[in-house]
Chains A and B, each alone.
Chain A
Amino acid sequence: MTQTRYYRTRSPEPEKEKTGGGGGTAMRVIVPLQGVVQGRGGLVLGSIIPCALFYFLQFYLKRNRDDPDDKNESNSTGQNPTTRSPSSEHLTELPGLTRSLSRALLSPRNSGPVSISARVSGIVKGGDSPYYMGLKRLKEDPYDELDNPNGVIQLGLAENKLSLDLVKDWLAENAREAILGNGEELSVSGIAPYQPFDGLMEFKVAVAGFMSQVMENAVSFNPSQMVLTAGATPAIEILSFCLADTGNAFLVPTPYYPGFDRDVKWRTGVEIIHVPCRSAENFHLSIAALDRSFNQAKKRGLKVRGVIISNPSNPVGNLLNRETLYSLLDFAREKNIHIISNEILAGSTHGNEEFVSMAEIIDQEDTDRKRVHIVYGLSKDLSLPGFRVGVIYTFNEDVLAAARKLSRFSATSAPTQRLLISMLSDTKFVRTFITTNRERLQRMYVQLVAGLEKMGIKSIKSSGGFYCWADMSGFISSYSEKGEVELWDKLLNIGKVNVTPGSCCHCIEPGWFRFCFATLTEKDIPVVMERIQKVLKPVN
Chain B
Amino acid sequence: MAIEIEQPRVGLSKVAVSKTHGEDSPYFAGWKAYDENPYHETSNQSGVIQMGLAENQVSFDLLEKYLEEHSEASSWGKGAPGFRENALFQDYHGLKSFRQAMANFMEQIRGGRAKFDPDRIVLTAGATAANELLTFILADPGDALLIPTPYYPGFDRDLRWRTGVNIVPIHCDSSNNFQITPEAMEAAYQSAESMNLKVRGILITNPSNPLGATIQRSALEQILDFAVNKNMHLVSDEIYSGSTFSSSEFISIAEILETRGYKDAERVHIVYSLSKDLGLPGFRVGTIYSYNDQVVTTARRMSSFTLISSQTQHLLACMLSNKEFSENYIKTNRERLSKRYDMIIKGLKKAGIECLKGNAGLFCWMNLSPLLEKPTRESELALWKVILNEVKLNISPGSSCHCSEPGWFRSLKVTNFCTADHELSSKERDHLERSRKKIKEVDGSGSSSRILLFSLQFLQTCFEVQFRWKKMSRTLILRWMKVIVEMSRYLRYRLTKSGRVNSGSLGEKH
B-contacting residues of A (Cβ < 8 Å)? 2, 5-9, 12, 19, 21, 73-74, 76, 84-85, 87-88, 91-92, 101, 104-105, 108-114, 116-120, 123-124, 127, 159, 161, 164, 167-168, 171-172, 175-176, 179-180, 186-189, 191-195, 230-231, 233-234, 237, 241-246, 248, 262-263, 266-267, 305, 334-338, 370-371, 379, 383-389, 396, 398-399, 402, 405-406, 408-416, 419
> Given the complex, which residues of A lie within 8 Å of B298, measured CB to CB?
116, 120, 123-124
State whether B138 touches A399 (Cβ < 8 A). no
Q: Which residues of B have CB within 8 Å of A267?
A: 136, 162, 302, 305
Q: Which single member of B63, B87, B225 contacts A167 (CB below 8 Å)? A: B87
Chain B minimum-CB-distance residue to A401: B16
Does the CB pair B90–A385 fall under 8 Å? yes
- How far, in whole Å, are A53 and B1 apart by their CA atoms in the complex? 49
Contact B306–A410 (Cβ < 8 Å): yes
Q: Does B281 make an interface contact (CB < 8 A)?
A: yes
Q: Say whether, besides A105-B198, A164-B88, A241-B16, A172 and B292 are in contact (CB < 8 Å).
A: no
Range of interface residues on B (Cβ < 8 Å)? 35 or more
* Chain A residues with CB under 8 A of B79: 172
Binds A, one of B69-77, B211-219, B328-336: B69-77
Q: How long is the Cα–Cα vector from A304 to B134 in the complex, in angstroms?
A: 30
Contact A124 B14 (CB under 8 A): no
Contact B301 A127 (CB under 8 A): yes
- Given the complex of chains A and B, what is the CA–CA distance between A91 and B12 in angstroms? 36
B residues neighboring A (CB under 8 Å): 1, 3-4, 7-17, 21, 23, 53, 55, 57, 60, 63-64, 67-68, 71, 74-80, 83-84, 86-90, 115, 117, 119, 125-126, 128-129, 132, 136-141, 143, 157-158, 161-162, 198-200, 225, 228-233, 261-263, 265-267, 279-285, 291-295, 297-298, 301-302, 304-312, 315
Contact A187 B64, beta carbon cutoff 8 Å? yes
Cross-chain contact A172 with B77 (CB below 8 angstroms): yes
Let me know if A386 and B89 touch, CB within 8 A.
Answer: yes
What residues of chain B lie closer than 8 Å to A116, measured between beta carbons?
Answer: 137-138, 292, 294-295, 298
Chain A residues whose CB sits within 8 angstroms of the CB of B140 once the complex forms:
117-119
A91 in contact with B228 (CB, 8 Å): no
**Are A192 and B280 also in contact (CB < 8 A) when A85-B293, A116-B298, A187-B64 are?**
yes
Contact across chains for A21 and B75 when beta carbons are under 8 A apart? no
5 nearest A-B pairs in the assembled complex, by CB-CB distance: A386-B310, A414-B282, A176-B75, A416-B309, A402-B16
Interface residue from B14, B16, B75, B231 paired with A171 (Cβ < 8 Å): B75
B12 and A412 within 8 A (CB): no
Q: How far is the CA of A59 from the CA of B11 in the complex (A)?
A: 52
B21 engages A405 (CB within 8 Å): yes
- 15 A-B pairs besides A117-B140, A387-B309, A412-B125 with CB distance below 8 A are A73-B262, A104-B231, A116-B292, A171-B75, A172-B79, A172-B80, A180-B67, A242-B15, A242-B16, A335-B3, A336-B3, A386-B311, A388-B310, A405-B21, A415-B315
> How many Å from the CB of B369 to the closest CB on chain A?
31
A193 touches B282 (CB 8 A): yes
- Bound together, the chains give a CA A12 to CA B264 distance in angstroms of 10
A87 x B292 contact (CB < 8 A): yes
Distance of A389 Cα from B68 Cα, bound (Å):
27
CB pair B283 A414 closer than 8 Å: yes
A-B CB contact pairs (8 Å), 5 listed:
A5-B115, A5-B117, A12-B263, A109-B229, A370-B10
Please give, as numbers and ranges, the residues of chain A lying within 8 Å of B297 by CB-CB distance: 88, 124
Q: List residues of chain A with CB within 8 A of the CB of B68.
A: 186
Cβ–Cβ contact A233 & B305, under 8 A: yes
Residues of A contacting B117 in the complex (Cβ-Cβ under 8 angstroms): 2, 5, 76
Chain B: CB-nearest residue to A245: B13
- When distances are taken between beta carbons in the complex, the residues of chain B under 8 Å from A370 are 9-10
Contact call B136/A398, Cβ cutoff below 8 A: no
Rounded to whole angstroms, the CA-CA distance of A241 and B238 in the bound complex is: 29
> Are A164 and B84 CB-contacts (below 8 A) given A192-B60, A193-B55?
yes
CB closest residue in chain B, given A333: B10
Closest to A371 in B: B10
CB-contact partner of B139 in A5, A117, A159, A176, under 8 A: A117
Q: Which residues on B sit within 8 Å (CB–CB) of A409?
A: 125-126, 128-129, 132, 158, 162, 305-306
Please, how many angstroms separate the alpha-carbon atoms of A234 and B126 in the complex?
14
Q: In the complex, what residue of chain A is closest to B126 when comparing beta carbons?
A: A411
Q: Does B225 contact A19, Cβ atoms closer than 8 Å?
A: yes
Contact (Cβ within 8 A) A398 B16: yes
What's the Cα separation between A234 and B229 when bound, in Å?
Answer: 37
Complex-state Cα separation, A13 to B295, whole angstroms: 24
Q: Are B88 and A88 in contact, with the CB atoms below 8 A?
A: no
* Bound CA–CA A380/B99 (angstroms): 26
